[in-house]
Amino acid sequence: MGKIQIKTFQFSILTIFLLCSTLVPPSSSSITVHELLKKKGLPAGLLPKEVKSYEFNEQNGFLEVFLDGPCLTKFENRVLFESVVRANLTYGELMGVEGLTQEELFIWLPVKEIAVSDPYSGIILFDIGMAHKQLSLSLFEDPPSCKPKDELKYSGRKDKGFGAER
**Assigned domain for 8 exists:** no
Q: CATH number of the domain at 112, please.
A: 2.30.240.10
- For residue 64, give its domain range: 30-151
Render pLDDT for 87-140 as a digit per residue (tens, 0 to 9): 999 999 999 999 999 998 889 999 999 999 888 899 999 999 888 899 999 999
Render pLDDT for 125-151 as a digit per residue (tens, 0 to 9): 999 988 889 999 999 999 999 999 776
**Assigned domain for 51 exists:** yes
Backbone φ and ψ of 142, nearest 5°: -115, 145
Domain count, the chain: 1
**Assigned domain for 19 exists:** no
**Assigned domain for 46 exists:** yes
**Assigned domain for 59 exists:** yes
pLDDT band for 153, please (50, 70, 90 cuts). low
Q: What is the pTM of this model?
A: 0.72
- Partners of residue 98 on adjacent β-strands: 86
Sequence-ordered list of residues with C-beta below 8 angstroms from that of 112, at least 6 positions apart, any chain: 96, 97, 127, 128, 129
